[in-house]
A and B are shown apart, each in its own frame.
Chain A
Amino acid sequence: MKRFRNINGGILRDLALVAAMLPVVCWIQFRSGGIFLTGENLTDLLKETAVLGIMAAGMMPIMLTGGIDLSVGSVMALGGMLGATLLKECPGIAPAVVLLVGCLTGTCCGLFNGFLTARLRILPIIATLGTMYAFRGLTYLVANGRWILQGDMGGEFLRLASGSTLGVNNLVAIELVVYVVGFVFLSFCPCGRNLYAAGSNPDSARVCGINVDRTLLLAYALTGMVAGFAGILYVCDFGVAQGESASGYEMSVIAACVLGGVSISGGTGRIQGVFLGSLFLGILNNAMPLIHVSPFFQEAIRGGIILFSIVLNVIIARRIGKAALERRRRV
Chain B
Amino acid sequence: MKRPENNAALLAHERNFSWGRLLCWEALLLLLLIGVNAMNMCVSPGYGDFPVLMDALRNFADKAIIAFPVAMVVLTGEIDISVGSTLALSAVTMGLCYRIGLPLGLCVVIAVATGALCGLFNGIILALYRELSSMIVTLSTLIVYRGLASVLMGKESVSFPVQGWFNEISWGDFLGCPYGVLFALAEALLFCYLIHCTVFGRHCRAVGSGSEASRFSGIKVERIKIVLFTLSGLFAGVAAVFLTSWMCSARADMARGYEMDVIAMVVLGGFSTAGGKGTLPGVLLAIPVIGLLRHGLGLMNMGSQAILIVVGSLLVVAAAIPGLRLLFGGTVRRK
Contacts and interface: CB of A to CB of B under 8 A. Distances in A.
Interface of A: 68, 116, 119-123, 125-127, 129-134, 136-138, 140-141, 202-203, 243, 251, 254, 258, 264-265, 294, 296-304, 306-307, 310-311, 314-315, 317-318
A215 B41 CA distance: 47
Q: Is chain A's interface secondary structure helix, strand, loop, or mixed overall?
A: helix
A136 B267 contact: no
Contact of A129 (B129, B131, B154, B315): B315
Given A125-B135, A126-B263, A310 B140 contact: yes
Given A122-B320, A126-B267, A311-B125, A299 B143 contact: yes
Contact of A127 (B133, B143, B319): B319
Contact of B273 (A123, A202, A306): A123
B79 interface: yes
Given A121-B322, A300-B144, A126 B133 contact: no
4 A-B pairs with the lowest CB-CB distances in the bound complex, closest first: A300-B147, A303-B143, A140-B305, A120-B323
Contacts of A202: 335
Contacts of A297: 147, 151
* Highest count of chain B CB atoms <10 Å: which of A134, A202, A317: A134
B58 interface: no
Contact of B326 (A121, A132, A134): A121
Contacts, number: 146
* Highest count of chain B CB atoms <10 Å: which of A130, A140, A258: A130
Q: Is chain B's interface secondary structure helix, strand, loop, or mixed overall?
A: helix
B147 A301 contact: yes
Nearest to B272: A123
Nearest to A304: B144
Nearest to B273: A123
A307 B137 contact: yes
Contacts of B133: 264-265
B46 interface: no
Contacts of B324: 120
Contacts of A131: 312, 316
Interface of B: 1, 79, 81, 125, 129, 131-133, 135-137, 139-148, 150-151, 154-155, 257, 260, 263-264, 267, 273-274, 303, 305-309, 311-313, 315-316, 319-320, 322-324, 326-327, 335
B85 to A, nearest CB: 9
A17 B173 CA distance: 57
B244 to A, nearest CB: 20
A264 B79 CA distance: 15
A243 B308 CA distance: 13
A203 B334 CA distance: 10
23 contacts: A68-B135, A116-B320, A120-B324, A121-B323, A122-B320, A126-B263, A126-B315, A129-B81, A130-B316, A132-B312, A137-B307, A137-B309, A137-B312, A140-B303, A141-B305, A141-B306, A141-B309, A264-B133, A294-B154, A299-B150, A302-B147, A303-B140, A310-B132
